[in-house]
Amino acid sequence: MRILILGTGGMANTHAKNFAAIEGVTLVGGVDVDPARVEAFCSAHNIERGFGSLDAALAWGEFDAIANVTPDSVHYATTIAALNGGKHVFCEKPLATDHARALEMTETAERLGLVNMVNLTYRNVSELQKAREIVLSGQVGQVKHFEASYLQSWLVSKAWGDWRTESQWLWRLSKKHGSNGVLGDIGVHILDFAAYGAGSDFSKVFCRLETFDKAPGNKIGEYDLDANDSFAMTAQLENGALGVIHATRWATGHVNELRLRVYGELGAVEVRHRHDGSQLLTCLGDDAETATWTEVQVDKVQTNYERFVEACRTGKNLEPSFRHATNIQKVLDLGTVTDRDRTEHHV
């Protein structure tokens, strides 16, 4: 299987390393509008060909699939072009910047019969997969309540670099550079984390967004720092469970941490995923009477990268699909609408 990496920024290195490690997969090209960056990327990953545009790569055409690692605002145009070029697509999250574009991408991929998946990376967390299995098995009983959070601290710490001077962070704070803020950037992750782990999609949402002052005039160079920094959401799932979801980049002391708790009438599960490891805790059966929590050890699961390669080889689409990411995008869009209207909306 021959894969082209579209976009050669930081996350592209993760894609390249993961795909190159899969038996039978060859990285055959890299694409970036920055000649120096694509040359350095191709050299680092032993990729023979570099291209300055997707059009040039598609004109060459000697590959089976594209890993789309471009900025959020570019996903739509590049993915549509790749699909129309007959290529399977593995797209970074979010699939698009709004539901309408995401739906068009989904319908195009499905109409053309091409494999389409989105890199919702926390599906790779074995503990989340096991938590979902426990919930769907009925061990927690009917789900009544859930709570989920995604806490990052890169606006108060230089653990990942300095956002005040580095474009890879500054664009995430600027609407005109394609950012939908923390809601669009990591909200997609925690919404998927919550719905997947709780075993049900969303039915109603209400969200509040907040953008904090970060620089004089909230501007650094060409970047207007106007994208939201934090959100707090109440939500109901199709299974009737009520819950809260929140995320921020101001969580001092939390480099990168996701947490989900799912409570049922018979028991509960909790998943904690941090930059330095993951945990699954359960309170099931007789332990529910004594509020005893037990850590569960789980085996590793297939990664999204491995599932995408499997899907391309078998011709059978796997999750997380464009269709699923489109449904999540609808919830994200409603988050902005409910913040504006100050009222709950049905999904």
Tokens representing 201 are: 């999609």
User: Tens of pLDDT along 248-257?
Assistant: 999 999 999 9
The sign of the torsion formed by the CA atoms of 157, 161, 165, 166 equals: negative
Q: Which residues of 306-345 are buried (b: 16+ CB within 10 A; e: fewer)?
A: bbbbebbeeeebbebbbbbbbbbbbbbbbbbebbeeeeee
Q: What is the pLDDT of residues 129-140, one digit of tens each?
A: 999 999 999 999
Band of residue 113 on the pLDDT scale cut at 50, 70, 90? very high
pLDDT tier for residue 159 given thresholds of 50, 70 and 90: confident
Q: How far apart are CA 287 and CA 41, in angstroms?
A: 52
Q: What is the pLDDT of residue 99?
A: 96
What contacts 278, CB < 8 A, 6 or more positions away?
125, 126, 127, 271, 272
Q: What's the pLDDT at 178?
A: 81
Set out the domains of the chain in order of their start, with CATH numbers: 2-121 (3.40.50.720), 123-346 (3.30.360.10)
Strand partners, 259: 149, 272
Task: Please provide the average confidence, as pLDDT, over all residues in the chain.
Answer: 96
Structure tokens at 300: 């590793």
pLDDT at residue 72 is higher than 90: no
Beta bridge partners of 68: 6, 91
Q: Are residues 155 and 247 in contact, defined by beta-carbon separation less than 8 angstroms?
A: no
* 197 vs 194: CA distance, rounded Å: 5
- 296: number of Cβ within 10 Å: 14
Residue 35: per-residue pLDDT = 95
Q: Is the pLDDT of residue 10 over 90?
A: no
pLDDT of residue 295: 98
Amino acid present at 30: G
Q: Residues 308, 115: contact at Cβ < 8 Å? A: yes
Q: Which of 142-151, 153-162, 313-322 has the lowest mean pLDDT?
A: 153-162
Question: What phi, psi does 232 have (nearest 5°)?
Answer: -130, 125
> Is-contact 248 182, C-beta < 8 A?
yes
What's the rounded Cα separation, in Å, for the pair 339 and 139? Answer: 36
Tell me the two tokens of residue 330: 């609808």
In this model, does residue 160 exceed pLDDT 90? no
Among 28, 30, 52, 33, residue whose Cα is nearest residue 41: 30
Query: What's the pLDDT band for 17 if we cut at 50, 70, 90?
Result: very high
What are the Cα distances from residue 97, in Å, to 76, 100, 106, 163, 320?
8, 9, 14, 22, 17
Q: What's the CA gap between 205 and 202, in Å, rounded? A: 8
Question: Residues 83-111: what's their mean pLDDT?
Answer: 97
* Its pTM surpasses 0.85: yes
pLDDT of residue 33: 95
3-class state of residue 258 by DSSP: strand
Of 156-160, 267-271, 290-294, the range with the lowest mean pLDDT is 156-160
Cα separation, 130 vs 296, in Å, equals 9
pLDDT of residue 338: 96
Whole-number percent of the chain with pLDDT over 90? 94
Which pLDDT does position 168 carry in this prediction?
82
Q: What are 195-245's pLDDT values in tens digits?
A: 999 999 999 999 999 999 999 999 999 999 999 999 999 999 999 999 999
Residue-wise pLDDT for 30-68, tens only, equals 999 999 999 999 999 999 999 999 999 999 999 999 999
Mean of pLDDT values over 152-159: 94
